[in-house]
Each structure stands twice: as C-alpha cells, then as structure tokens.
A and B are shown apart, each in its own frame.
Chain A
Amino acid sequence: MNLKSINGINNSSNKGNLNGKGNSPKIKRRNFFVYLGAGALGAYALTKLPFRLFQQKLKAETGIKVKENPYAVKRDASKTGKDMKGQVNG
C-alpha cells in the first residue's frame, strides 16, 4: 500500500525514511574503540587536571576563617531590640 495515498502526505523525510532504511554509514569497530578511549581520557583529564572552568567566580575555597570573638559578650534574646517601640521613647 502506498503511504502517500493513505495519509495524503507528501513528505520527503518520510520518503527518505522509507527508502533510506539500512543505508546509514557504519562506524568501524577500530574507530569506535579509539573514540571511546579518547572520550574516557578526556573525562579523566577534566576531573583530575586543575581546570577551573567553573570556579572562576565562586571562590569557595577561602583562606578567611570566620569565628565570633570568644571574649565578646552576646546579648540576651530578650534584649535584641524587640522591646523598641515604633514610637518616640526619648
């Protein structure tokens, strides 16, 4: 049965699909392993070599250590300004 006559479609890609079946280029077995090996090496290099493609602006590794001063005396929660009124209290 002719596909065109059933669906009323004159689609070159359909045609191509039908006619081109089985004609795709075949990768050689040797080349496949070469590409695979190269890909694996590339991936390994990306993870291990000191590329900083993504770390330019993040700078997560900081030399600055933050800590509260151990000798400072912090405020009680009840005296953190909650009792400040919106009105003039002077």
Chain B
Amino acid sequence: MDSKNPMDDIKKQQDNTSQNNSEDNTQKDIGYWRSFQELYKDPSFNKALKNEFSPEALQKPDVKSMSAVSRRKFLALMGASAAFAAAGCNNYQDKGLIVPYNQKPEEVTLGLPNFYASTCTGCTSACGILVKTREGRPIKVDGNPDHPVNKGKICTKGQASVMNLYNPERLREPMMNKSQTNWNDVNKNITAALVSANNTGKQIAIVTHTILSPTVKKLLDEFKITYPTTKVYSYEPINDNTRITAWQKSYGKKSMPVLQLDKAKIILALESDFLGNDNNQMEFTRMFVQNRDVMSKNEFNRLYSVEGAVTITGMNADYRLRLRTDAIEEFVMCLLNEFVGKKKLSGFAFDSRVTTVFSSYDIKQFASKYKLDEKVINHLVDDLSKNQGEAIIIGGDKLPESTHIAVNLLNDILGNNKLYSTDADNTEIIPLSSSAEMDNLVQDMVSGKVAVVIHFDTNPVYDLSPEYKYAEAVKKVPMSITMTELVTETSEISNYVLPIHNQLESWGDFKTRTGFYSMQQPIIAPLYNTRQKEAILLNWKDTKEFNETLYKDFLTAYWEKTLYPLMGSATHFKKFWNSVLHDGVVFLNEKPETAGTTFSVDAFTSSSKMKASNDFVVMLQSNNNVGDGRFASNGWLQELPNPITKIVWDNYASISVQSAAELGVDSNDTIELTIGSRKQIIPVFVQPGLAEKTIEISLGYGRTAAGIIGTGIGVNANTLIAKAPALNDRLYSNAQVAKAGGKYELVSTQEHYPIDSDPLLKDIQFRRGIIRQGTVEEYKKNPKFLKEKKSQMSMEPINTPPIYDREGFTGTKWGMAIDLNKCTGCGACVTACNVENNIPIVGKEEVKNNRELMWLRIDRYYYGTPDAPSTNFQPMLCQHCDYAPCENVCPVAATTHSDDGLNSMAYNRCVGTRYCSNNCPYKVRRFNYYDYRDYVGEGIQYAEPMDLMANPEVTVRSRGVMEKCSFCLQRIMKERQDAIQDNRVVIGSNVKTACQEACPAYAINFGNINEIDSDIAKYRTHELGYSVLEEIKVLPNVTYMAKLRNIYEPMHTEETKKESKDEKK
C-alpha cells in the first residue's frame, strides 16, 4: 500500500523554495503565483495553462437538464403554440401593471429616479445610505455623501442589502404556533401575557442587538414603566468589547476616541483588519488611501501588519510579519521594553511597576524564536521612534483586553495619542450585556422566572455559544416571541413569529458618535402585512389601535420635545424635520466626554497577560460576505468571492502550508477542531501567509434556517464559542486539531479566467507586466522608472497593421483608470456592479464550472514565498479596447464599437457562439449557459417580488447570450440626455460608474479621456499609468496605476534589470 502523503511533495518543494529563497534573501526570482499548484509547477496546472479554456467551459450545455424535445416535436409544438396563440388572440403577457398612473404621485416622474437618504442597519457602523428608487421601487443602495463617517461609500453588505427587501421568502403574515394568524389576535394574546407576567412578578425579557437609537432607548424605558418586570439584554456576535473595556480601564473614560488615521505616517496593525472585517471599514479605508494617492502631494504612509490570520489589511501592508495571534501581546511587550526600558522614551521608564512587567522581553530573541525578519523589526522600531506623535498602533477586535491595554500604553508612550480625535468619539447608548448577564437570563428561563421572551430581531439560538443551551431554555418559557424578516433558528422554536419591516421600510435615528445623528426613513411603503418592530412594542405599551405612523409619530415627538431644543435651531420644527430627513444626517454642537489624560498604570500591571501556547490558535472572523449570518440569505453576498481565498458559498478552516503538512491534510480534506468540550468538523483550505498552528474560520455560515439560499451553506463556527472565554469570544489558543477523514469540495474563483496562459513563454505573466510595481523611493528618484522598465519588457506588436481604422475619437471617448495603490480588494465594486446591472447568482456548482456571471472580478496575485507572500489586487473588467479582438470574430456583429469608444453588446443579436469570449485576451466576457434566474434555488430569482429589484435601465439577459461590462452605458446615456436638455456638451466627470461610486478607496476614476483637464486624462498620461497586455496592441481604455510599495529595499535593482534583459534574450 502506498502511504505516501501528497503534502510531503509540496512540503519538500516548499522547503527547497524556502531554502533557495533564504540563500539570496530575495523573493523576486519566484515571480507571481496564485496557488500552490502554479508555484510548484503541478502537472495539472501546467495542463490547465496549455488549455486556455477549462474543459467545463468547452463542454456543450447539458442537454438533459434542458428539455428533451426532438426537432420534430419541437416544430410540432411550435406550430401548435402559434396556432393556439393566434386562435386565442389574447394578450397572454398581461401588461396591466404598466399602465400609466391615473393619479400620478407628485414625487414620481416616470423614467427618472428619486433618491432618499437613510441609514443602513446591517451592522453597528450605521452608515448613511442614499437609496435610488424607480417608480417607487428601491433599486440601488449607495453611501450618503453627507454622512461624516462613510462619506458616500457603503460596503458589500450595504450594497447588496436591496436584495433583502425583495427576498421572496420574507415573512408576510404573523404566525402563532406555526399557523398563520392576524395582528389583532397576536396583540390581544401577547398583551394579556405581558399584563399577567407583570401581575405575577414574572420577568419579561427583551433580547436585542446593540441599541444605537436614542429613541429606541426611550421606548424601552417607557416599556419598562408600563411593564416593570421587563429586563433588556443586548448582545452582538461581532463586537468590540475587549477594546472598549480596555479603553475604559486605561483612561477611565467610557467612550473611545475616533482615530485620525489620515494623519498617521506609520501604521502598525496588530491582528487588525481595519481595511476589511473590523468595524468602521469605510472610514478607515478612506483615511488610509488619502496618503496612498499618487495624484496628490501627500507623502505615502507606511503600513506594518503583524498577524496570524491573512487579512485584507495584511495583504495591503508594506511590511507584513506573520505571528501566531496569542504571541502578539508578547510582541507588544518587546516593543514596550525597546522604547521604555532601553530607549527611555517616557517617564514610565522610571516607574518600576511598569518596567518590571516587560523587562524580560527582548525583541531580538523574540524575532529569532518566531522567525520574524529582523530587518523588518528594525525598520519598525526606527519608524516608530522617528515618527512619535505621527504613528498609530491598532489592535484588532479579536485580541484580549490585556493586549489592548498594552497597545494603549505603547501609543501613550510614543505620543501617538495626538492622533486620537478631540472632536468626536464613539458613543454607546446601552452597553452590551456581559456573558454573566446572558447566563442569568438563561437560568431564569430554565427556572420558570421568565414568562415572556421577546427576540427583538435577534437570533440567539444561532448566535450564542452552545454552552448557554439557549434553545432548550426558550422552550421552557410560556410565551416566546420572535420579531424577524425571515425564518431563523430562533423563530423556528418560538410560539409567535412576527414579520417586521425591512430597513428600507422603517423609521429610525442612530447615534454612533458625538456630534451627529444619522436618520432612517422608509423609502417604500411596506410590501407585506409587516410592522416595524419598534411600533409593535409601542402598540403593546400603549394598547391603542395600531396605525402605520405609530412609531414615526413617537420618533417625531421625541425629536421635537427632546433633541430639537438642543440643536438651538431657529427654524420651525416641521421644516427642520424635513431637512433632517432630506440630508439623512443632522449635526449638533456637542463635544466628546472630557478625556482622561493619564494612563492608568494599574490597568496595565494588574491585567493578566496573554502567553503563547503550543496548541493551535483558532480565530473566528467576521467576514465581508454574510456578516455574522444575518446576510446568509443574500445570494449576491454568498457568491461574492472572499477577497483573499476567492472561495464562494462556503466557510472553511484556513491553515498554513506547514501545519497542513504536519497534519497530513490538504485543501478540501476535513479536520475536527476541539476547544474544551466544543467540537466541529470543517473543511480545510491551505492558505499562504497564515501563521503556523493558526486556524482562521469565518462566522455566519452553517445556518439551519435561512431559506433556500442560506440554509446548509458552510459550517456553523458559533458552536466553538465559549460562554466565558479566557481571551476573547473569537480567539482561542487551546485548540486541538485532528484529521477527520472525508472530503468536502470548496469552490474558488482564483484560477478562473487566467489571462497569462501562453505556454510558449515561460513566466510570461511576470515579464508582461500585468502587475507593475516599484517602491516609493524609486519613484521619487525617477518618476519614469516603470515606463523605462516597460520598454525592456515590450514585445513586438501582434496586430499590425490594425484591421480597423480606429484612429481619431476626437469627440467624447470614455475611459477608466484604476489606481492599484488604493485598491484594497474589498469587493464593494463587484457587488455594486451586480446590483446595477441585474447580474443573477449562478450557484456554487456553476461557479465550479467557471460560469460565474460577475462582470467585474478582482484578480489576486501572490508574489514571494508561501510563508510570506506579498499580494496585489487588480480589478479586471472589459477594457473596451479600441481594436477589440472580440468584435471582429462575432459572426452576427452582436458586439460592435461605438463612436465614443465603447465596446457594446446587442443582446438580442447575440446567437451565443462564444467566439468573442475565446478571442478576448482579458477573459472578461460572461456567457449565460442557463437562464440562471430559473436555474438557481428553485427559481427564486424569478419569484415575486424579485422582479421589482431589477434596474429598468439594464436589459435582463437570459440563456444563450454573452454579456460583459458596458461601462455603465445607462449612466452615460443619462448624461447625454442631461446635456441635450441643458444644451451643453457631455461632461465626462458627471458620469460615475457603479463600481466607481461604490469604491471606498476612490481607486476607480471614469470620464472622457479627450477632456484634457479631466482627472481621467491626467491618469492616462501619468508616469505610473499602464495598460494590461499592452504589447498585443488592442489599445485598452482602462489604465492601471502601478503599485508603489513604501519599503526601504529597492525592487528594481540593476541585477533584476540585467536578469530581465537576459530572459528577453
């Protein structure tokens, strides 16, 4: 029996690679790679390289899964159908719904969109949104530009949230013991139970998520007055608790300050994904890229990342050190000893209570123990000392409280507290319940002390640690009520399930910071017989007759009596209120709580310190897709590739190469994780760059009641959460891992659509310069250094002379620029494109067959060794080439060129030969192998009311049609229309494509490249601008800005230039 483990080969090869790498101490000779198969020249990958298209792509569609109709039968049916239709003479496509209004609503102009400001309730950031409606239907959610935090940008979840409104599986009527009932009976029964609970002294428990609304707080306070036995419990699966409590202990102040990341020259992220999954992604991304802008005079910041996981932040770092998470506190101690103990940078140097805590830590020994690059450590220490007061150290939300306290001290010592904003801090309306309080609730439920439990749009059965045994406790409560939009694990075991409004049907006000409130208003009247959850409580409180404006009136009255007088506004309240709703945000003259300026030494000395263990570390991550599971029913988010792994429709245990080899597992194997008494079996994904003995798992998957789309997707990692965790509820350092046996197929898009697969030219993707990069220093010395390097790489043009005469374009010519210095790879642009262009989901199986339909993808390239890869992200979309190779192969001229430089598609002319896709060098064309709206999830995308979500400006495509990015042609048409109406020329910068509008990093620019003074024209002529595959002379109209890394070591030495020349020879 051959017991040889396939991972052994990989390990050996990796060892060889590492050895070679350490010999010359450089990563440049390895080139770009996207997977281990590519790096180790796996025969299957080489075979795939030779075949431009995967076998699945070349397969004929599965005829069996269509309809088995013979030609003869087809013609007979066609003839009969035509005869019947003609005989019937009836209009079977009932167009009744598109008759004009008898009485047109004043606010609606047919064919023109309306915009409404509101607030997103998808997470605790409460970002401002601007909702676009057409004829009353919300069709697109973007950021509210007036909102001071997210400033016009919104994350992937916010972008895709419009699908939640139209989810056909939303609950439409109240249910009592799984039978449909009506609101009158519901209210009668529940009110009686509440009164009874009150009279008998039994508890009424309200279980909520974080309360961000002052009006909801008032409502809950009043509810408690009516029913004094009420207790409110709040929890948040993805929370920032340890950071907040650390801050309170360090400075004795409740609210944490806002970080001014835009003023930081040096940023050190410690297991922090501030550009990705940690809270406040939109604001941090904007602040970060402000100093990554090659068009501005701003100096580039330098980002160091020390992490065990692989995050978007780490992948965007100039220097990244991989370190298991439970050793990060020791790393902070080493830095403290370096700055306080050795360099005596602070008065704390003479406080023995402080210095004794870290005096035994030495950074050199530490670096040696964990194999950290000493050169990088030296750079970090130098940078932090030289930039005191202009650097910031950020701890991630999974770190324990003690680490955050140490980080606070380090920032204090280096004078970095200058970057804590004095104008605004983060506020808290009601603090989250502690685990002891939640445990008390469960004990009370079990012991019969709770008469009524109300789940206020929460799903604790799924969210909470299994150690609480919450589901069993709920079953012992006489009346359990769940207010929810969709069926959940908690609603499944509740007596009453009350359907509630979607966020776009609700009123609200939110306060996340000092100085402003963010307002929520309903964009659309309720689609079903649902009620706003606050209005339901209000109705039970007042026992008055319900009306739809109940909560709106309560909100308005609270504002008029309480908050409006504080504003000192001279305007009449009604006018003030209208302006508040119009803007979606209202500012008030409010200062943060007075800061405690002195760091509490006791907080530092008394906290128990985290020590690295020898076991596996397990990190439970929030994620950009389904969040904590609330978005599991959203197909767009399930199908959005993870920014790093590019896996869709699943979660998995990411594990390092070395650890996988030691365990004898590979990607798609399964492992059993054991943390204390908690166990879970989960598939493995071998992830480059992950720290040894570290496992990273996304939360939010493994739902058992999340509708057709979300049920049974992935594994429920909440089952690993402890009730009283030692470090953090999302970090464990005592995990045992064993191979579980069996396989589970994960589907990744990372090797789909390779554009560098010419087998005749070795390492062509490197020399072709698909990704171009250098250092900031090199750029400063010679701004044209990459252009000069390009000439060495340039190859003979392929298409000379060109087939078409495409010179000219003297009028408008549309073009796009994408700045790779700013792009963080978050995926907001991909989701925005999906929503704008009515792109359906295709399901996991079809993604596996390379048939995803997203018009815009983000290519992720690794560079370097599997242990320490550097990463480049590159958004890839139709390049709208002047000499588009797709156009001259289309036999029916379905894809043609417009006078303003667009490569257009005529869908009703396309016969689906797919020649254009074959001939596209960028692999950006997508073919509808099926009618995916009908194909996925029992045809849920055709179910009522999903059709209301469609953007009427964009054709809904069906089977057999090729499609691709149109540069948001509908938005260009709108500008043309406006220009004609205003009697002016088209202004390129007035057009914002959906991806551009969504990009939180402002990485995408669009406009008329013939407008000399426009931004897009400046990008086109910039020294760092280049086109992908420019040597094939198809003249693309998308310009990429080369990536500059702010590192000390030059990337383009004379030696590498020489190598490049040799290779060319």
Q: Which residues of A contact B (CB under 8 A)?
A: 39, 42-43, 46-47, 54-55, 57-62, 64-76, 79-84, 86-90
Query: Can you add 11 more A-B contacts, CB < 8 Å, to A55-B92, A69-B505?
Result: A60-B93, A62-B97, A66-B136, A68-B107, A69-B525, A70-B525, A72-B521, A73-B521, A84-B145, A86-B1004, A87-B1015
Distance in Å from the Cβ of A73 to the closest Cβ of chain B? 4
B145 engages A81 (CB within 8 Å): yes
Indicate the member of B145, B262, B295, B989 with the most A CB atoms within 10 Å.
B145
Contact status B116-A72, CB under 8 Å: yes
CB pairs A–B below 8 angstroms (23 shown): A46-B87, A58-B94, A60-B93, A60-B94, A62-B945, A64-B528, A66-B136, A67-B136, A68-B107, A68-B523, A68-B525, A69-B522, A71-B522, A74-B116, A76-B582, A81-B142, A81-B145, A82-B990, A82-B992, A87-B293, A89-B151, A90-B283, A90-B290
Residues on B with C-beta less than 8 A from A46 are: 84, 87-88
Whether the Cβ atoms of A71 and B552 lie closer than 8 Å is yes
- CB contacts (< 8 Å) of B1002 on chain A: these are 86-88
The reply to whether B525 and A67 contact each other, CB–CB distance below 8 Å, is yes
- Please give, as numbers and ranges, the residues of chain A lying within 8 Å of B1015 by CB-CB distance: 86-87
* CB neighbours of A84 from chain B (8 A): 145, 152, 992, 997
CA distance A21 to B485 in the complex (A): 75
B521 touches A90 (CB 8 A): no
Determine the distance from Cα of A75 to Cα of B113 in the docked complex, in whole angstroms. 10
Residues of B near A80 (CB, < 8 A) are 113, 115, 130
Residues of A within 8 A of B114 (CB): 68, 74-75
User: Do B136 and A68 have beta carbons less than 8 Å apart?
Assistant: yes
The reply to whether A81 and B945 contact each other, CB–CB distance below 8 Å, is no
Neighbouring A residues of B290 by C-beta, 8 Å = 88, 90
A59 touches which one: B283, B552, B578, B944 (CB < 8 A)? Answer: B944
- Give, as a whole number of angstroms, the nearest-CB distance from B262 to chain A: 7
B contact residues around A69 at 8 Å (CB): 505, 521-525
Q: CA A48 – CA B521 in complex, angstroms? A: 46
Taking the closest CB of chain B, its distance from the CB of A56, in whole angstroms, is 10
Chain A positions within 8 Å of B146 at CB level: 79
Contacts of B934 in A (CB 8 A): 57
Distance in angstroms from B320 CB to nearest chain A CB is 24
Once A87-B295, A90-B151 are accepted as A-B contacts, the answer to whether A58 and B93 lie under 8 Å apart by CB is yes
Bound form: Cα–Cα A10–B89 in Å: 46
How far does the alpha carbon of A67 sit from the alpha carbon of B196 in the complex, in Å?
A: 40
Judged by a CB distance under 8 angstroms, whether B135 is at the interface is yes
The B interface is mostly helix, strand or loop, or mixed, namely: mixed
- What are the residues of chain B within 8 A of A70 when measuring CB–CB? 525
CA distance A74 to B138 in the complex (A): 12
Task: Determine the distance from Cα of A88 to Cα of B117 in the docked complex, in whole angstroms.
Answer: 21
Nearest CB in chain B: distance from A62 CB, A: 6
Say how far B151's CB is from chain A's closest CB, in angstroms: 6
Residues in B whose Cβ lies below 8 Å from that of A88: 286, 289-290, 293, 296, 1002
List residues of chain B with CB under 8 Å of any chain A CB.
84-85, 87-90, 92-97, 105, 107-108, 113-117, 130, 133, 135-137, 142, 145-146, 151-152, 262, 283, 286-287, 289-290, 293, 295-296, 505, 521-525, 527-528, 549, 552, 578, 581-582, 934, 939, 942, 944-945, 947-948, 989-990, 992, 996-997, 1002, 1004-1007, 1015
Q: Which residues in B have their C-beta under 8 angstroms from that of A64?
A: 527-528, 944-945, 948
Contacts A54-B92, A60-B96 hold; do A71 and B521 have CB atoms under 8 A apart? yes
Are A73 and B286 within 8 A (Cβ)? Answer: no
Minimum Cβ distance to chain B for residue A90 (Å): 5
Query: Which among B88, B92, B95, B286 has the highest number of chain A CB atoms within 10 Å?
Result: B88
Residue on A nearest B582 in the bound complex, by CB: A73
Give A55 to B85 CA distance when docked, in angstroms. Answer: 13
Q: Tally the A-B contacts, defined by beta carbons under 8 Å.
A: 141
A66/B135 contact (C-beta < 8 A), A46-B88, A71-B549 known: yes
Interface of chain A: mostly helix, strand, loop or mixed: loop
Chain A residue nearest to B519 in the complex (CB): A73
| Bound complex: CA A34 to CA B550 (Å) | 67
Contacts of B295 in A (CB 8 A): 87
Minimal beta-carbon separation of B208 from chain A (angstroms):
25
B89 nearest in chain A by CB position: A47
Query: A87 — which chain B residues lie within 8 A by C-beta?
Result: 293, 295-296, 1002, 1015
Task: Let me know if A90 and B990 touch, CB within 8 A.
Answer: no
| Distance in Å: Cβ of A45 to nearest Cβ of chain B | 9
Q: Are A75 and B944 in contact (CB under 8 A)?
A: no
A77: shortest Cβ distance to chain B, in Å?
A: 8
Residues of A within 8 A of B552 (CB): 71
Cα distance, A66 to B94, chains bound together (Å): 18
Closest B residue to A76 using CB positions: B582
Residue of B nearest to A39 (CB): B87
The smallest beta-carbon distance between B866 and chain A, in angstroms, is: 35
The distance in angstroms between the C-alpha atoms of A90 and B282, with both chains bound, is: 11
CB distance from B820 to the nearest CB of A (A): 16
Residues of chain A lying within 8 A (CB to CB) of residue B527: 64, 66
Question: CA A82 – CA B524 in complex, angstroms?
Answer: 23
CA distance A69 to B146 in the complex (A): 22
Task: Give the docked Cα–Cα distance between A26 and B137 (Å).
Answer: 62
Q: Is the CB of B97 within 8 A of A74?
A: no
Q: Is the CB of A66 within 8 A of B948?
A: yes
**Hey, which chain A residues are within 8 Å of B283, CB to CB?**
90
Chain A residues within 8 Å of B152, by CB: 81, 84
- For residue B84, which residues in chain A have a CB less than 8 angstroms away from its CB? 43, 46
Q: Which of B151, B521, B989 contacts A86 (CB 8 A)?
A: B989
Alpha-carbon gap, A70 to B552, bound state (A): 12
- Residues in chain B near residue A39, CB distance under 8 A: 87
Contacts A42-B87, A64-B944, A89-B151 given; indicate if A75 touches B262 (C-beta within 8 A): no
In the complex the two chains form, what is the Cα distance from A79 to B115 in whole Å? 9
The list of the 9 closest CB pairs from A to B, nearest first, reads A43-B87, A73-B581, A54-B92, A75-B115, A69-B522, A60-B94, A80-B115, A68-B136, A86-B1005
In the docked arrangement, what's the CA distance between A86 and B998, Å?
A: 10
Q: Which residues of B contact A81 (CB under 8 A)?
A: 115, 130, 142, 145, 152, 992, 997
Q: Which residues of A contact B525 (CB under 8 A)?
A: 65-70
* Contacting residue for A90 out of B95, B287, B996, CB 8 A: B287
Query: Smallest CB–CB gap between A41 and chain B, Å?
Result: 11
Q: A75-B117, A84-B145 are in contact. Are A68 and B287 (CB under 8 A)?
A: no
Interface pair B93/A66, CB less than 8 Å apart = no
Residue of A nearest to B505 (CB): A69
CB of B953, distance to nearest CB on chain A (Å): 15
| CB–CB B97/A60 < 8 A | yes
Q: What is the CA–CA distance of A39 and B1006 in the complex, to the nearest angstrom?
A: 61
A47 with B286, Cβ < 8 A, contacts A64-B527, A64-B948, A67-B524 known: no
Q: Given contacts A55-B92, A74-B116, A90-B262, is CB(A67)–CB(B105) below 8 Å?
A: yes
Kindly provide the distance from the CB of A71 to the nearest chain B CB, expressed in whole angstroms.
Answer: 6
Cross-chain contact of B88 among A47, A82, A83, A89 (Cβ < 8 A): A47
Query: How long is the Cα–Cα vector from A53 to B948 in the complex, in angstroms?
Result: 23
Nearest B-chain residue to A55, judged by Cβ: B92
Q: Return chain A residues, CB-CB under 8 Å to B93.
A: 54, 58, 60
Hey, which chain A residues are within 8 Å of B133, CB to CB? 68
A58 shortest CB reach to chain B, Å: 6
Which residues from chain A contact B130 at a C-beta distance below 8 Å? 75, 80-81
Partner of B522, one of A47, A72, A75, A83: A72
| A65 contact set on B, CB distance < 8 A | 525
Contact of B582 among A42, A67, A68, A75 (CB under 8 A): A75
- What are the residues of chain B within 8 A of A59 when measuring CB–CB? 942, 944, 947
Query: CA separation between A60 and B944, bound complex, in Å?
Result: 9
Please tell me if the beta carbons of B944 and A73 are within 8 angstroms of each other in the complex: no
Query: What's the nearest-Cβ distance from chain A to residue B391, in Å?
Result: 20
In the complex formed, the residue of A with least CB distance to B990 is A82
Please state if A68 and B108 are interface contacts (CB–CB under 8 Å).
yes
Check A60–B116 contact: CB distance below 8 A: no
Q: Which of B92, B107, B289 is the one whose CB lies under 8 Å from A74?
A: B107
User: Which A residues touch B142, using CB under 8 A?
Assistant: 81
Residues of A within 8 A of B992 (CB): 81-82, 84, 86
